Structure 1
Amino acid sequence: MVAALDVLARELYAIQPQDFTAARNTRAQELKPSDAALAKQVAALRKPAPSAWVVNLLAREHPDDLTALLALGERMRTAQEQLDRDALRRLGGERRAAVTALAQAGAARAAGLGHPPTAAVLGDVEQTLLAGTSDPAAAGAVASGLLVKPLRAGGFDPVDLLGAVAVPDAAPWVASPGGAQSPALPDPVQLADVRRRRETRAEAERQEHNADAAAAEVDALERRAHRLEVRRASLEAEIAELREQLDTAEAALGAVTNDDDALAEARTQATRAADDARARARDARDAADALEKTD
């Protein structure tokens, strides 16, 4: 069933976009009397997005160039696993050039067929080609010729292929026009191993990032603790100085209080002595006045 659907899907995804829906419905109607289940599957085939149609065009008409690009992606993944930065830098430049050239070739061919892609569509084509170089499973989807929607790579994570290929179980690589079969993708065991290595590496890098972030946080806290310690020492010294000044001021206040008490006592005695002196002076004057009268 899958093989039959694969063949029918390849026929449909090779026609012009404006003819896809009518051709699909016609083919489903033709199949319905003899194979209702297959007819239902054909009727469910989705029309490809413009960018997916361009990539499918490349898979059919530029299989060698597309195969070379996807093989370049495999070499990049190997260099990444080996942490070969020089190779990654060199291969990255080659990939950018290859993606641009292949996308332009697809755009030119699509324009020749009466469907010139917009800048947004061309951008999706480039992103889909890049996604094909980042993940072996995505490479199979890109090269299948049965792509339904554009793909996008997400760093170290596997490319989301849910609903991306019209017949997910179909053979992932198409035959070239000369009949030679393109290199096969890794088998499921190899593919799982590749993904496990990538996920393990990504997890290690995430943990290293977390460790670096934690170390930076510890360093920041230690610097803050040092600043607080310096501030504490400064405040303690200031408090000690203020306490010394307070002790001095309290001693001076005590002396002033003592002086004030002594002054008050002296004032009282002086007032009393002055009163006594004035009284004696009055008495003396009264005595003198009395003597003068008797004379």
Structure 2
Amino acid sequence: MVDSLAALARELYGLQPAEFTAARNARAQEFKTTDVTLAKQIGALRKPSPAAWVVNLLAREDDDGLESLLQLGEQMRDAQEQLDREALRRLGGERRTAVAALARAGADLAARLGHPPTPAVLGEVEQTLQAATSDEAAAAAVSSGLLVKALLAVGFEPVDLDDAVAVPDAPQARERRTSPATPPKSPVQLADVRRRKEAKREAERLERDADAATAELAALDRRAERLALRRSSLEAEISDLREQLRTAETALVAVDRDAGTLADDRKQAEAAAENSASRAAEARAAADALELSD
């Protein structure tokens, strides 16, 4: 079933974009009475995006150019495994040149068929070709000629191939050639590669720990700075309050002094009042006595 679907898909994905939908529907209709499942699978095939169509065109029409690029990707992955920085720099430059040249070749093929790609589409073609050098699964997807959408490689992560190939389980239309530049590794070489990978992972882990510690230190420094500012503010506030306290204490002493003076004055006034009252009483008694004698 997969072989039959793959063969029909390759036929459809080899058509020009304007012909795809009608041809797909017609082929699905053909199998409606003889193979309902296959008819549904054909009818579910999605029209390739403009960039995917150009890459599919390269897979069919420029097999050697695409194979050279994919072998370059194998060499880059091997250099990455061996942590060969010099080889990676050299191969990276070669890949940029090869991707640009193959994308231009695809643009020329598409233009000759009356579908020149826009700059945006050509950019997606280049992204897809570069992604094909990132891992074997992406290389197989690109070389299948059944690509539905453009691919994108992000760092060293596996390329996302979800819904990227019309028939994911389709057998390869041709066998990939193995690059003669990458002979099988001996057990010793493989052990060295594993040790280098482990050392790299440990170094990356320690670097992440160091970055986290640096970030934590920076956060603590910011907290310390905020606390220092708060302390300065509180010290200034305490200084103001102490000054107010000294002023209030001075005023209290003055009040106590005035209160003491007032108490003494009151005693004197009270004595004077009592003396005046006594003298007034005596004067009144004398006056009353004189009136009675008269």
Task: Render the CA deviation track for 1:67-93: whole Å, top value 9, x for unaligned.
Answer: 111111121112112221111110100
Matching residue of 2:212: 214
Matching residue of 1:40: 40
Matching residue of 1:182: 176
Matching residue of 1:147: 147
1:113–1:222 Cα change, 3 Å: same
Looking at structure 1, the residues matched to 219 and 23 of structure 2 have their Cα atoms a distance apart, in angstroms, of: 68
SS at match of 1:134: coil
The correspondence of residues 11-22 of structure 1 with structure 2, limited to 5 A, is: 11-22=11-22
Looking at structure 1, the residues matched to 178 and 10 of structure 2 have their Cα atoms a distance apart, in angstroms, of: 18
Looking at structure 2, the residues matched to 184 and 23 of structure 1 have their Cα atoms a distance apart, in angstroms, of: 36
Answer yes or no: is the 8 Å Cα contact 2:71–2:178 preserved in 1. no
Task: Render the CA deviation track for 1:215-256: whole Å, top value 9, x for unaligned.
Answer: 32355468779989x99xx9xxxxxxxxxxxxxxxxxxxxxx
1:225–1:182 Cα change, 3 Å: closer
Task: Render the CA deviation track for 1:18-54: whole Å, top value 9, x for unaligned.
Answer: 1111111111111222222111111111110000000
1:208–1:102 Cα change, 3 Å: farther
Looking at structure 2, the residues matched to 29 and 42 of structure 1 have their Cα atoms a distance apart, in angstroms, of: 9
Matching residue of 1:85: 85
- 1:89 maps to a residue whose letter is R
SS at match of 2:133: helix
Looking at structure 2, the residues matched to 37 and 217 of structure 1 have their Cα atoms a distance apart, in angstroms, of: 58
Answer yes or no: is the 8 Å Cα contact 1:156–1:202 preserved in 2. no
Looking at structure 1, the residues matched to 135 and 6 of structure 2 have their Cα atoms a distance apart, in angstroms, of: 23
Matching residue of 2:274: none
Shift of residue 182, structure 1, vs aligned partner: 3.0
Please state if 1:2 is matched with 2:5. no
- 1:183 maps to a residue whose letter is R
TM-score (norm. length: structure 1):
0.67
Shift of residue 205, structure 1, vs aligned partner: 6.9
Matching residue of 1:191: none
Looking at structure 2, the residues matched to 31 and 201 of structure 1 have their Cα atoms a distance apart, in angstroms, of: 57
- 1:182 maps to a residue whose letter is R
1:208–1:154 Cα change, 3 Å: farther
SS at match of 2:28: helix
Looking at structure 1, the residues matched to 21 and 199 of structure 2 have their Cα atoms a distance apart, in angstroms, of: 44
Task: Render the CA deviation track for 1:73-130: whole Å, top value 9, x for unaligned.
Answer: 1211121122211111101000000000000000000000000000010000000111
Runs of 4+ in 1 over 4 A off after TM superposition: 199-206, 221-228
Looking at structure 2, the residues matched to 128 and 29 of structure 1 have their Cα atoms a distance apart, in angstroms, of: 33
The correspondence of residues 210-249 of structure 1 with structure 2, limited to 5 A, is: 210-217=208-215, 220=218
Looking at structure 2, the residues matched to 2 and 15 of structure 1 have their Cα atoms a distance apart, in angstroms, of: 20
Looking at structure 2, the residues matched to 77 and 208 of structure 1 have their Cα atoms a distance apart, in angstroms, of: 24
Aligned-residue sequence identity (percent) comes to: 61
Unaligned runs of 5+ in 2: 180-193, 233-294
> Aligned-pair RMSD on alpha carbons?
4.2
Answer yes or no: is the 8 Å Cα contact 1:54–1:106 preserved in 2. yes
Matching residue of 1:63: 63
The correspondence of residues 120-135 of structure 1 with structure 2, limited to 5 A, is: 120-135=120-135
Unaligned runs of 5+ in 1: 176-180, 186-196, 235-295
Answer yes or no: is the 8 Å Cα contact 1:53–1:148 preserved in 2. yes
Looking at structure 2, the residues matched to 106 and 61 of structure 1 have their Cα atoms a distance apart, in angstroms, of: 9
Shift of residue 58, structure 1, vs aligned partner: 0.4
Matching residue of 1:284: none
Task: Render the CA deviation track for 1:181-211: whole Å, top value 9, x for unaligned.
Answer: 43279xxxxxxxxxxx9x9899767634421
Looking at structure 2, the residues matched to 219 and 21 of structure 1 have their Cα atoms a distance apart, in angstroms, of: 61
Looking at structure 2, the residues matched to 205 and 157 of structure 1 have their Cα atoms a distance apart, in angstroms, of: 19
Looking at structure 1, the residues matched to 6 and 104 of structure 2 have their Cα atoms a distance apart, in angstroms, of: 28
